[in-house]
A and B are shown apart, each in its own frame.
Chain A
Amino acid sequence: MRYDDNALSAPERAALERAKDLLVRLAGERAMGRLDPSDAAEARFLEWYAREARATLSVAEQARLDAGADRFVRTIRSRRALERSRVREVASEPESAPAWEEGTLAQVVAAAARVRHAPAIELSVAAGVGRELWDEPCERWIPLPDDAPDGRYVALRVTGDSMVPLLHDGDTILVKLGEEIVPDAVVVARVPDGGYVVKRVGGVAGSRVELESLNPDYPPIVIARDPSLVLGTVLLRWCTHGDQPVH
Chain B
Amino acid sequence: MRSERRQQDTSAELWSDLEVLQRMRRDDDVAIREFFRRFTPVLWKIARQAQVQPALRDDVVTDCLSDAALHLMQATVAPPANLTGYLIATFRHRLANDRRATDRRSATGTAAAWGEGGERVVREVCSEASIRASAGPAADTPPLSPVLERLSRVIDSGITDDERQMLRWVSAAIPQRLIADWLGITHNAARVRVLRLRERLIEIALRSDVARSPDERDELYEFFRRSGLSERARRALAERDGGVPPRPRLRRGREIPEEDQ
* Chain A contact residues, CB within 8 Å of chain B: 1, 3-4, 8, 11, 14-35, 37-50, 52-54, 57, 61, 64-65, 68-73, 75-77, 79-80, 83, 243, 245, 247
* Of B120, B182, B192, B227, the contact of A3 (CB 8 Å cutoff): B192
Q: Does B70 have its Cβ within 8 Å of any Cβ on chain A?
A: yes
B145 to nearest A CB, angstroms? 11
Q: Which chain A residues border B103 with CB–CB below 8 Å? A: none
Residues of B within 8 A of A77 (CB): 27, 29, 32
Chain B residue with the shortest CB-CB distance to A16: B198
Contact B86 A44 (CB under 8 A): no
CA distance A69 to B229 in the complex (A): 46
Binds A, one of B41-49, B105-113, B237-245, B247-255: B41-49
Evaluate whether A61 and B227 lie within 8 angstroms (CB atoms) in the complex, with A23-B205, A46-B84, A47-B84 already known.
Answer: no
Contact B192 A61 (CB under 8 A): no
Partner of A72, one of B36, B41, B223: B36
A161–B159 CA distance with the chains assembled, in angstroms: 55
A-B contact pairs, 29 of them (CB 8 A): A4-B192, A15-B229, A15-B232, A20-B170, A23-B202, A25-B171, A28-B168, A29-B49, A32-B49, A38-B85, A40-B82, A41-B165, A42-B165, A43-B84, A46-B85, A48-B178, A50-B38, A50-B41, A53-B45, A72-B36, A72-B62, A75-B62, A76-B70, A76-B73, A77-B29, A77-B32, A83-B70, A243-B120, A245-B123
Contact of B198 with A19 in the complex, beta carbons under 8 Å:
yes
Residue of A nearest to B69 (CB): A76
Min C-beta distance of B63 to chain A, whole Å: 9
Chain B contributes a number of interface residues (CB within 8 A of A) equal to 67
The answer on a CB contact under 8 Å between B226 and A22 is: yes
Residues of B within 8 A of A20 (CB): 170, 198
Interface residues of B, Cβ cutoff 8 Å to A: 27, 29, 32-33, 36-42, 44-45, 49, 58, 62, 65-66, 69-70, 73, 81-82, 84-86, 88-89, 92, 120, 123, 128, 144, 148, 151-153, 155-156, 159, 164-165, 167-172, 174, 178, 182, 192, 195-196, 198-199, 201-202, 205, 223, 226-229, 232, 259-260
- Tell me which residues across on chain A come within 8 A of B168, comparing CB atoms: 28, 31-32, 35, 45
Known: A3-B196, A23-B205, A53-B45. A28 touches B33 (CB 8 A): no
Question: What is the bound-complex CA distance between A65 and B65, given in angstroms?
Answer: 13
Which residues of B lie under 8 Å from residue A3 when comparing CB positions?
Answer: 192, 195-196, 199
B171/A32 in contact, CB under 8 A: yes
7 tightest A-B CB contacts, nearest first: A28-B171, A18-B228, A37-B85, A53-B41, A50-B42, A37-B88, A37-B89
Residues of A with C-beta under 8 A to B223: 22
User: Contact between A37 and B156 (Cβ–Cβ < 8 Å)?
Assistant: no
CB proximity of B247 to chain A, nearest CB, Å: 20
B33 pairs with A72, CB closer than 8 A: yes
Q: In the complex, what residue of chain A is closest to B33 when comparing beta carbons?
A: A69
User: Do the beta carbons of A61 and B198 come within 8 Å of each other?
Assistant: no
**Distance of A11 Cα from B261 Cα, bound (Å):** 10
